Amino acid sequence: MNCQEAQLQLSGYLEKSLDAIRMKSIETHLSSCPFCRAEVHGLSDCIRLVSDLPVLDPPAGFTQRVMAHAREIELEPHSWQRFFAAFKVTVPVQAAAVVLVSVLAILLYQRQPEVKNIALSEKASPAVLPSEVEQKTIPAAKNSPTIASEQPSRARNTKRDNNDPLETAPHPIGKARQQSAPAGASIKDPAVAAAKPENAMDKPLESRLAPRRPAIQAQEVSTASDSPRPSADALAIGAAIGALSRSPLRPSPFSAETALSPLSEPIPDFEFVVKRRSSARAVPNEALRKRSETTPVSTGATERSAPSAPSGPSPIVEIRWFTVAPEHYEQFRKELAAEAIIDAERSVAAKEMDFGLKRSRELLIKVTVLPSDG
Q: Which stretch binds another protein (CB under 8 A): 6-14, 123-131, 257-265, 353-361?
A: 6-14
CB contact at 8 A, 293 and 222: yes
CB contact at 8 A, 263 and 179: no
Task: Using CA atoms of 248, 249, 250, 255 in order, give the dihedral in degrees to the nearest 10.
Answer: -150
Q: Should residue 19 be labelled a site residue for another protein when binding is judged by CB under 8 A? A: no
Closer residue to another protein (CB): 32 or 79: 79
CB contact at 8 A, 141 and 225: no
H helical segments located in the chain: 3-8, 10-15, 20-32, 34-51, 62-71, 79-90, 93-124, 129-142, 145-150, 175-180, 190-195, 202-209, 238-242, 286-291, 299-305, 329-339, 349-352, 355-360
Overall size of the chain counted in residues: 374
Closer residue to another protein (CB): 26 or 260: 26
Closer residue to another protein (CB): 76 or 286: 76
Binding mask 355-374 for another protein (x = CB under 8 A): --------------------
Nearest alpha-carbon partner for 209 in 129, 121, 114: 114
Binding mask 255-284 for another protein (x = CB under 8 A): ------------------------------
Q: Which position among 3, 46, 85, 267 is part of the footprint of another protein (CB under 8 A)?
A: 46
Interface with another protein (CB under 8 A), residue total: 36
Name the amino acid, one letter, at 122.
E
* HSE toward the beta carbon, residue 16, CA cutoff 13 A: 0
**In the complex, what is the shortest distance from the CB of residue 66 to another protein, in angstroms, rounded to a whole number?**
5
Give the three-class secondary structure for 364.
strand
Q: Which position among 2, 4, 8, 110 is part of the footprint of another protein (CB under 8 A)?
A: 8
**In the complex, what is the shortest distance from the CB of residue 16 to another protein, in angstroms, rounded to a whole number?**
13
Q: Should residue 47 be labelled a site residue for another protein when binding is judged by CB under 8 A? A: yes
Closer residue to another protein (CB): 57 or 286: 57
A 10 A CB-CB count for 142 gives: 11
**In the complex, what is the shortest distance from the CB of residue 20 to another protein, in angstroms, rounded to a whole number?**
18
**In the complex, what is the shortest distance from the CB of residue 81 to another protein, in angstroms, rounded to a whole number?**
7
Kindly identify the residues of this chain, within the stretch 81-140, that bind another protein according to CB under 8 A: 81
Kindly identify the residues of this chain, within the stretch 204-223, that bind another protein according to CB under 8 A: none
Closer residue to another protein (CB): 63 or 94: 63
Q: Which position among 12, 230, 266, 326 is part of the footprint of another protein (CB under 8 A)?
A: 12
Nearest alpha-carbon partner for 295 in 339, 270, 258: 258
Kindly identify the residues of this chain, within the stretch 50-89, that bind another protein according to CB under 8 A: 50-59, 62-63, 65-67, 69-71, 73, 75-79, 81
Closer residue to another protein (CB): 59 or 197: 59
**In the complex, what is the shortest distance from the CB of residue 78 to another protein, in angstroms, rounded to a whole number?**
5
What is the Rg, in whole angstroms, of the alpha carbon atoms belonging to the chain? 45
Give CA separation, 274 vs 83, 116, 159, 266, 286, in Å: 76, 36, 21, 19, 21
Closer residue to another protein (CB): 58 or 126: 58
CB contact at 8 A, 158 and 223: yes
Q: Which position among 3, 28, 35, 42 is part of the footprint of another protein (CB under 8 A)?
A: 42
Judged by the rule CB under 8 A, the positions of this chain that interact with another protein are 8, 10-12, 17, 42-43, 45-47, 49-59, 62-63, 65-67, 69-71, 73, 75-79, 81
